[in-house]
Amino acid sequence: MPIPPDVYKKIVTAKLYMDENFHEPIDLQRISRQACLSRFHFHRLFTRIYQRTPHRYLTQKRIEQARRMLAGKELSVSEICNQVGFESIGSFSVLFKREIGSGPQHYRKEARMRQEQAKRTPTAFIPHCFIHPHPGD
């Protein structure tokens, strides 16, 4: 059954709200109010449209922002945890490791090593086909 355009627009509006406010303590009630839908109806439609629950979407959004901050800023892991909207360093670390495959400290160390390597040998990060085009091209 297709989703009516006005309802689809409400879901997108709530997603944009999540994108802009992911660092705040947001719960399903607050997000569904942005869409002017019941929590259950919103949850079902959001999951159908975006192929993940609102909670999963919000967690992934926060983790992605944390990745950028860990790679580029000199903030502590605790400061980053708080700035991206997690309530505890423990849950942040567990979720980060589950999503990324390594903990925040290890990820930061690897990101900095990659940045240093890219400075030393930039061609190592360019696909071979761009450096050495195929004969006849």
Q: In this predicted structure, what is the pLDDT of residue 131? A: 67
Residues 6+ apart with CB under 8 A from 134: none
Domain positions in the chain are 1-51, 67-137
Please give the Cα distance from 7 to 48 (Å, whole number).
Answer: 13
Place of tokens 């925040």: 104
Q: In this predicted structure, what is the pLDDT of residue 85? A: 95
Please give the Cα distance from 117 to 125 (Å, whole number).
Answer: 9
Q: In this predicted structure, what is the pLDDT of residue 102? A: 95
pLDDT (tens digit, 9 = 90+) per residue, 23-63? 999 999 999 999 999 999 999 999 999 999 999 999 999 99
pLDDT band (50, 70, 90) for residue 134: low
Q: In this predicted structure, what is the pLDDT of residue 74? A: 85
pLDDT (tens digit, 9 = 90+) per residue, 88-126? 999 999 999 999 999 999 999 999 888 888 888 877 767
78-89 per-residue burial string, b: 16 or more CB within 10 A, e: under 16:
eebbbebbbeee
What's this model's pTM, rounded to 2 decimal places? 0.82
Distances (CA, A) of 125 to 21, 94, 107, 109, 111: 34, 30, 18, 18, 13
